[in-house]
Each structure stands twice: as structure tokens, then as C-alpha cells.
Structure 1
Amino acid sequence: MKHLPEGYRALVLGASGTLGSALKAALEADPRCATVTGLSRRGTPPLVLEDEATLRAAAEAMREAGPYALILDACGALRLDGRGPEKRLDDLDPRALARSFEVNAIGRALVLKHFIPLLPRQGRCIFGVLSARVGSISDNRAGGWYGYRAAKAAGNMLLQTAAIECTRSRPEAVFAALQPGTVPSPLSAPFLAGHPTVSAEEAAQGLLAALDTLPAQRGASFIDAKGQAIPW
């Protein structure tokens, strides 16, 4: 990360996941990064998207070691409670829809609420969140995946709205929703057929490189691991 201050601190949320752990490892290999801290559901302190108290406590625990010039939110879930994405309207279940929004949209909003204050107020800093191309309303060509698409789109709107607010007080801050590509993992395995994949390590390197070159602006960007813009 050549465009962050020398000796910057980084924080990775969801660091126990396939992509989160790859992002943490890539930052640990950056000689310009002083420290990388990873938080996860099973870590200490725990980070549970459905429990705001854990998010508040985790942010408070990190505050003394901050501020963090780079915060990456790699949290989220494609399968919840044993259910995968719906393919048809007939598959819709209100509880499953609510769970997807609880994790992928409301959880994201609460992460933004508690962790944006850990960014420095002066100088360049970055807040990146994992999103998905299927969360693009303009790019929806195949249909299906109702709950996941809608929750990711909602998460993108929450990020965009928070970014507009926060760049008023942090004019050099960069906010971005990130599409890593299709990364093989235990959770994505049932959905990989017919899709080109990219390793977690390659996706992490691409996302970090893309983030490093993004300019500060009013609001957030939505990009893939090659730095290409994705329509909202």
C-alpha cells in the first residue's frame, strides 16, 4: 500500500474467512504496514454481526491501538442456517430473507457505525468492504439469488450513505465496495460450476492494489479486483 503513510496500521474484520485471512496475510507481508489486527466471530474479542454489543466492544478494544489507516470488512455470508440462494420466487422464505439482511446489510451498517470512528481524521485512509457483483442493480442479468442480491445492494447503499457523511469530516478518506471475483472456499463450493475462479491470494493482492490507487472523493466506489468500476 504505497499511498498510505509509512508505518500504517491495518484492521481486518472477518479475518478467519478464506478471503479475510488472505487479506491479513498480504498486509502482514507489506513492509510499510506496522501492524495488522484480525477480528472474527471466534476470535478475542469476538465479532458477531448479529450482536451489536460485540461490535461495540471490539471497536472499543481496538481504539487504544488506533487509529487505523486501513480497515477492511470481509464479513458476510452466502449460506445461512443451511440455506443457499433462492433461484425462484417460489423459493422465497421470509425468515431466510430476514437472516440475509441481518448479516449482509444490517451487520454491515453496524460495522460502519462502530469502526469508521477508528479511522484517522487527517491524512489518507481507506475503508473497504467486501461486496459482490450480484449486488449491482444495473448489472443484474441472470435474476435469482433474491435475498443475497437484495441484501448486498442494501449493504452497498449503506456504505455509500455513510461514505458521503464521513468524507465531510475526513476529506482524504477512501470508501469502496469490493468485488473479489469467485474465490473457492468451503461455503462457495456448491456454486462454482461454470464460473471462472480466482485464488484468495490473487484476489487479495488485486483488491489491495486497486484500493491503493483509488482517489478520495465524496462517497464510495464500487470496484472489482482489477480496479474496474462496477455500476451500482
Structure 2
Amino acid sequence: MTRVLVIGSSGGIGAALFSEATARGGKVTGLSRSGDGLDITDPDSVDRHLGALDTTFDRIVVATGALQSGGRAPEKALKQIDAAYLTQQFAVNALGPALILKHVPRLLTRDAPSAVGVLSARVGSIGDNGLGGWYGYRAAKAAVNQIVHTAAIELARTHKKAVCVALHPGTVATPFTSDFVSPENATPPAKAAGNLLDVLDGLTPAKTGGFYDYAGKEIPW
């Protein structure tokens, strides 16, 4: 039985990942702010909740993130850049996953194929950025991509069968995207979750450290 850990299991994509992994026969553990009090931006909270886990996992998915914070919409111009908003974006979208990844070497199984997926976003790609705007969110997702890539290098030294990647789930019909796209033009959460788990299951250790979309296609950095 595949042991799965979903961080952010109460969110739109996280809840769908929890349900889909369970439906596939996995033994799934979920942690979230609303369900468990996990604050991914607080090192003590992360250490307390992840430190209490006494098993290893074959799949770890970090399904956290925020497109908007503090009630503000993403910036459209340089004049809208705000230090506090940038700090919030980096705290949720880069610092949080980094604090979680700190615990992964202990939590990830070593004796069988395993995978770690951290939700990122295509807009975090510098090479694919042709529109501009969204400074905080783009930069924070670019930062988490670098964190994931670096973590993958370290994990490969001790977890020879592991994959650690950044994942773009596509535009998913959740409250996260409701201000920017109508539900009929977005992917249902259950479908997105299935896509992401399929990608994780299909990657080999040779692909670790990469940045992939919901179809398994590599995204430029």
C-alpha cells in the first residue's frame, strides 16, 4: 500500500489529492492549517507537526500556496510593488515549502521508489514569461522552483530511487482562481489531482529536480 502525505489537504487541490490518493488505494495522511493548525510559514509549527509523524511515505505532495494575500490582487505594474505584500508572497509560496522540505529526508522512504511533488505555477517560469506583471507571485514561485531543484540534488545522494519535482497543476477550479477564471474554463479539482498523481507515478529518478506540468511536459526555468 502506497503511503502518501498531503500538506495542504484542506485546500481545493489538496483535498482532491487526498481523495484521489485514497481512491487509488493509498494510505493517506493529510495536514493543513484549518484541519490541524499547521502554519507552513511558522518554523515551530512545521517542526511540531511534521516532527510528530513517525512513519515514512512513498509520496509527499506539498499542495500549499496563495495567489493573493492580505486581500490584495497580484500587481500589474511596478508602481504597485509593496514590500509587505512581497514578503507575504515569499512566506507562503517559497518559505513554507522550504520549511516542509527540511523534513523530507527523514519522512521519505529510502528502500523503494518514492516521489516528492511541490505545487508551483507556470508563471514562475522566467523563460516562459511573456506577459509580465504579478511580480510577487511570479518571483516567489521562481524561488520555490530553485528550492525544489536544490533539494532534489541533495536527496539524490541518500534516496537513490527518489524523484523530487516542482509541478504546475494547470488552472484549477478552486477559490484560489475564482477571481481570474470561470469554473467552466478551469480543470475540475478531481481531474487535476489525478493528473498530478499520474505525473509523479510516471517520473523516474533521472527526471528528479525538474519542473513539469499536469501532462508531464517539462516547463522551462
> Structures share a fold, TM > 0.5?
yes
Determine the C-alpha separation between the residues in 2 that align with 1:157 and 1:227: 19
Determine the C-alpha separation between the residues in 2 that align with 1:56 and 1:152: 23
Q: Is the 8 A contact 1:161 1:219 kept in 2?
A: no
Determine the C-alpha separation between the residues in 2 that align with 1:175 and 1:142: 29
Number of aligned residue pairs: 221
The Cα of 1:218 is off from its aligned counterpart by 7.0
| Root mean square deviation of aligned Cα | 1.5
| Equivalent position of 2:60 in the other structure | 71
| Equivalent position of 2:35 in the other structure | 43
Secondary structure of the corresponding residue to residue 208 of structure 1: helix
Secondary structure of the corresponding residue to residue 179 of structure 2: helix
The Cα of 1:16 is off from its aligned counterpart by 0.4
Query: Amino acid of the residue matched to residue 46 of structure 2?
Result: L
Give structure 1 stretches of 5+ with no counterpart.
1-6
The Cα of 1:121 is off from its aligned counterpart by 2.0
Residue 172 of structure 2 is aligned with which of 176, 183, 189? 183
The Cα of 1:170 is off from its aligned counterpart by 0.5
Once the two structures are superposed, the pairs formed by residues 7-156 of structure 1 within 5 Å of their partners are 7-31=1-25, 33=26, 35-44=27-36, 46-62=37-53, 64=54, 66-156=55-145
Q: Is the 8 A contact 2:151 2:164 kept in 1?
A: no
The Cα of 1:219 is off from its aligned counterpart by 4.2
Could you report, residue by residue, the CA deviation over 1:190-213 in whole angstroms, capped at 9, with x for unpaired residues? 1116x9411111111111111111
TM-score, length basis structure 1: 0.91
Query: Amino acid of the residue matched to residue 213 of structure 2?
Result: D
Q: Which of 199-208 and 210-219 deviates more?
A: 210-219
2:218 aligned with 1:229, yes or no? Answer: yes
Q: Is the 8 A contact 1:133 1:230 kept in 2?
A: yes
Query: Amino acid of the residue matched to residue 222 of structure 1?
Result: F
| Equivalent position of 1:217 in the other structure | 206
Could you report, residue by residue, the CA deviation over 1:54-113 in whole angstroms, capped at 9, with x for unpaired residues? 111111111x2x110100000111111101210100110011111101111111111110
Query: Amino acid of the residue matched to residue 160 of structure 1?
Result: H
Q: Is the 8 A contact 1:167 1:218 kept in 2?
A: no
Secondary structure of the corresponding residue to residue 101 of structure 2: helix
TM-score, length basis structure 2: 0.96
Give structure 2 stretches of 5+ with no counterpart.
none
The Cα of 1:115 is off from its aligned counterpart by 3.2
